[in-house]
Chain A
Amino acid sequence: MIAGLAVALLALPNFVAPYFMHLLIQILLWGFVYTSWSIMGRFGFVSLGHGAFMGIGAYVPALLWNYAGLTPWIGIPVGIGFAVLLALIVGYPCFRLKVVGHYFALVTLALSQVVMLSIVAARDVTGGSLGFTPKAVGHSWYALQFPEKVYFYGISLALWFGGLAVWYWIDCGIGREALDAISEDEEAAGSVGINVIREKLRVTLISAALTALGGAIYGQYMMYLNPETVSGIAVSLQIVFAAIVGGTYAAVGPTVGALLTISLNEGLRVAFGTNFIGAANTIYGILLVLFIIFMPRGIVGMIQDAMKGSRRGKAVFYSAIRRPSSADQ
């Protein structure tokens, strides 16, 4: 089934119009960013600071390209490096001093504001809130710029698969049990010999690095950066919410979140036109509240629960047939 899906995804560019191509690329790129967030978010480390990492990842390579002529092949790793460094500077003291729950959310929220406002404040270099356009050179591997959408479709597909792979790698790795224990009870996890700070820092840095990479490719694809759309509170909240709506406990959850939110947005835009600019987010906001109250595990989590529930139901049924006495105990 997975192989079939892969073939279908690879063959898709031959059949769809450029507009749907654009939507697909958006879904894959944002799906990758949301997956990156959920790598730490699924353990209950809710960061509202991922806008900061995405902003750095997007702006650093673009600035280096425009002002120093440095190829994004070097610029992107440099940007990722900065994002990881920032995650380390803020993450280490947070984990060391046990800043958790909504305090952690507020510290990371401040972080995303610091990065966004710094970009705006450095308007002489970054163009401030007017945005920033990387110098276009047409089709070039050196500049990582492709006017044809199919190239970025390939790149974002690869990125998205990579994100899922990292998700599975952490899910199957030895640290996963430790992280689960930490998310249940930090003190207890520490007392049985888990290095709480190291485990938390590890997923945080991986998550920050991938988010920065997502930001960089997003910038290369859009060829326009705006502090409001790649950093700051709005982006941070968008990341968190889409991941939660999709479900952070399954690998494809955040992608489902991206698919749902982007199609909802586009669908309402096409249906109502731009007169109802707020309509999409109005519905989105209500959905979010309902999701968090009634389905905190997200769409994919809910489907999994339903399937598990029916399986468990069958198991109970069969065991009741075989040994009626066990039901009485």
Chain B
Amino acid sequence: MDIYLLEAIINGILLGGVLAVLALGLNLIFGVIDVVWIAYADLVMCGMYLIYYLNVELNWPLLLACAVAIAWVAALGVLVHVLIIAPILGSAPINQLLATGGLLFFLQSFATLLFGTDFRNIGVRLPIIELSGIYVSSARLLAFAVAVAGAIALYFFLRRTFVGTAIRAIAQDRDIVGLMGVDQRHIYLVTSAIGGALAGLAACLLILQYDVHPFIGNTFGPLIFMICVLGGLGDMIGGFVAAFVMSQIIAIGGYYFSTELSYVFAFTFFIVLMFVRPRGMFSR
């Protein structure tokens, strides 16, 4: 096999890791609260800017900045739920999508106001690893490892703890759960906080590979929604696999054609699959 194609495939797998982390938190919110946070990727952008600010402007150590960013985005997640989603939880689902769309406008332009449209980075670049002629970004390798670890941790959290069980139950039937002694509002808050924290985690991984700018959310946002839907809502493993399918389409398409066309293929694949398998790739 062509060595460059192999490199593209391996980098595709690693890009899949990044997308999987992004999709993980969104999947939790999408699957449990059944709300589309169209501004989810922009919360990641907020986390990236905070890390940049703390690390570069205030000279904090990177790990501390990352830890603060995770907590900060988790708090943002709770705020989004309390201020925007909770008041309209009873209205048509599309209204919740549109309200978070307003948030998207707000966050992107507020970031422009604070930081301008310049591309910024923290000046830390993890080394490129060479394996018998194939070049692999170690930042992506790290993202991949964190994605796997995060998915496993989330899986056990959802299976083995009371709150996790309650979250799964609420995803199945939100009305009956109340009768079983679970406070839905409490579970929604916990879910939003975890979803936000995962966005913060994604911000830590992305800042190592990408420059942050106010519109970086537009690069990933649409893609990760489609990954969640393809994997089946609330299906963590499905979402994980879907992230890798999409990233392979992008990597191989990018190798043979161009980056833009590879995204065209990925989005077209999503549209077609929604018609063939409306409940996700792995639905029976």
Mark interface residues in A225-246 (1 if CB within 8 Å of B CB, else 0). Answer: 0000000011001001100100
Q: Could you mark each residue 92-120 of chain A with 1 if its beta carbon is under 8 Å from any beta carbon of chain B, else 0?
A: 01100101011101110111011001101
1/0 contact trace for B81-124 toward A, CB 8 Å? Answer: 00010011001111101110111111111111100110000000
Q: Which single member of B87, B88, B93, B112 contacts A278 (CB below 8 Å)?
A: B112
User: Count of chain A residues with Cβ under 8 Å from any Cβ of B?
Assistant: 45
Within 8 A of B (CB), among A48-79: none
Contacting residues, chain A, for B99 (C-beta < 8 A): 288-289, 292-293
Stretch in A25-33, A279-287, A303-311, A316-324 with 4+ CB within 8 Å of B: A279-287
Query: Is B218 an interface position by the 8 A CB rule?
Result: yes
User: Is B274 in the interface zone, CB < 8 Å from A?
Assistant: yes
Secondary structure type dominating chain B contacts: helix
| Distance of A265 from chain B, by nearest CB (Å) | 11
Q: A284 to chain B: which residues have CB within 8 Å?
A: 105-106, 109
Q: Which A residues touch B28, using CB under 8 A?
A: none
A-B interface pairs (CB < 8 A), number: 145
Q: Number of contacting residues on B, CB 8 A? A: 47
Name the B residues within 8 Å of A117 (CB-CB): 260-261, 263-264, 267
List B residues 28-57 near A (Cβ within 8 Å): 36
Q: Which residues of A contact B260 (CB under 8 A)?
A: 117-118, 120-121
Bound together, the chains give a CA A46 to CA B229 distance in angstroms of 18
- B110: min CB distance to chain A, Å: 5
- Let me know if B110 and A278 touch, CB within 8 A: yes
In the docked arrangement, what's the CA distance between A70 and B35, Å?
Answer: 47
Q: Which B173-194 residues have a C-beta within 8 angstroms of A?
A: none
A310 CB, nearest partner CB in chain B, Å: 25
Q: Determine the chain A residues whose CB is within 8 A of the CB of B267 once the complex forms.
A: 110-111, 113-114, 117
B-side residues, CB < 8 A to A, are 36, 84, 87-88, 91-95, 97-99, 101-113, 116-117, 214, 218, 221-222, 225-226, 229, 257-258, 260-261, 263-264, 267-268, 270-271, 274-275, 278
